[in-house]
């Protein structure tokens, strides 16, 4: 089954309770956390996740685009995140292992993320420790960017690693996913699709979420 994770980065931040209720036919709520250092943009932090938690029964999929996420993963878990993902580029391999351990110690799901220039093989040191791997299909930092179709061989490669080594792990893609590009993502082996602008920009959100399922 294909899961859809709308990114609230494209929502109206002045009305997040309503914006989350508008995506209630989705599978996850994707929350983009940016620190202005790992990426050139600043978004939201753990206090906002805490306020959002009681507004939805959907799992909160928290994508940390921050340097040294080990410093903050426990705060996001305590705030109510269900899945917390860390970029492999954001700290030493040792500290990423430790961050994943801290997330699991809080009883939450943990994942790793790779940027467009990072090879598929960068997930291998973590593959037995994660419930989700996220392959970026844009440079992280902003919504509304153009889908990078040249990431599809990497998605296929990560799919083959998952099938061989950790078959229950989910494979997520993030960036530029719309009712056209979703098809090649699904064909390449992704099972969770993040979509920001194409969901919140749609005239009928429920219909758009259904369309993204392929």
Q: Which residues are catalytic?
A: 32, 174
Closer to ligand DX5 by Cβ: residue 160 or 180: 180
Binding residue for ligand DX5 (CB under 6 A) from 69, 80, 111, 140? 140
CA distance 184 to 5: 17
Strand partners, 134: 113, 172
* Residue 174 binding Zn ion, by CB under 5 A: yes
Q: Does 143 help bind ligand DX5 (rule: CB under 6 A)? A: yes
Cα–Cα distance list, 165 to 59, 159, 160, 178 (Å): 25, 10, 8, 30
Nearest to 36 by CA among 14, 59, 67: 67
CB 182 within 8 A of CB 162: no
Determine if 109 is a binding residue for Zn ion (CB under 5 A): no
Residue of 36, 40, 144, 153 that binds ligand DX5 (CB under 6 A) = 144
- Does position 9 interact with ligand DX5 (CB under 6 A)? The reply is yes
Q: Which partner in ligand DX5, Zn ion, none is near 36 (CB below 5 to 8 A by kind)?
A: none
Q: Is 145 in the site for ligand DX5 (CB under 6 A)?
A: yes
The entry of ligand DX5, Zn ion, none near residue 175 (CB within 5 to 8 angstroms by kind) is: ligand DX5
Residue in 55, 75, 157, 197 binding ligand DX5, rule: CB under 6 A: 197
Residue with tokens 């598929």: 120
Question: Considering only residues 3, 27, 34, 63, which one is a binding residue for Zn ion as defined by CB under 5 A?
Answer: 63
Smallest gap from Cβ 164 to Zn ion, in A, equals: 26
Residue 145, contacted partner among Zn ion, ligand DX5, none, CB below 5-8 A by kind: ligand DX5
Minimum distance from residue 194 beta carbon to Zn ion (Å): 5
- Residues making contact with Zn ion (CB under 5 A): 32, 63, 174
- Residues making contact with ligand DX5 (CB under 6 A): 7, 9-10, 30, 32, 63, 138, 140-141, 143-145, 174-177, 194-198
């Amino acid at each position: 089954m294909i899961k859809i994770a709308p990114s609230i980065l494209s929502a109206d931040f002045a009305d997040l309770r309503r914006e989350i209720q508008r995506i209630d036919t989705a599978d996850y709520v994707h929350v983009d956390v940016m620190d202005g250092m790992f990426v050139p943009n600043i978004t939201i932090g753990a206090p906002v996740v805490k306020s959002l938690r009681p507004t939805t029964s959907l799992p909160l999929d928290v994508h940390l685009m921050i340097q040294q996420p080990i410093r903050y993963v426990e705060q996001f878990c305590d705030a109510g995140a269900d899945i917390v993902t860390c970029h492999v580029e954001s700290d030493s391999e040792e500290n990423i292992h430790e961050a994943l351990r801290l997330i699991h110690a809080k009883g939450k799901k943990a994942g790793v993320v790779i940027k467009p220039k990072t090879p598929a093989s960068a997930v291998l040191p973590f593959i037995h420790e994660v419930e989700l791997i996220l392959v970026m299909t844009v440079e992280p930092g902003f919504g509304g960017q153009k889908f990078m179709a040249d990431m599809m061989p990497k998605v296929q490669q990560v799919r083959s690693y998952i099938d061989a080594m950790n078959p229950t792990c989910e494979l997520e893609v993030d960036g530029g996913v719309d009712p056209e590009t979703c098809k090649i993502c699904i064909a390449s082996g992704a099972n969770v699709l993040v979509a920001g602008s194409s969901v919140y920009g749609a005239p009928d959100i429920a219909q758009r979420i259904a369309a993204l399922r392929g």
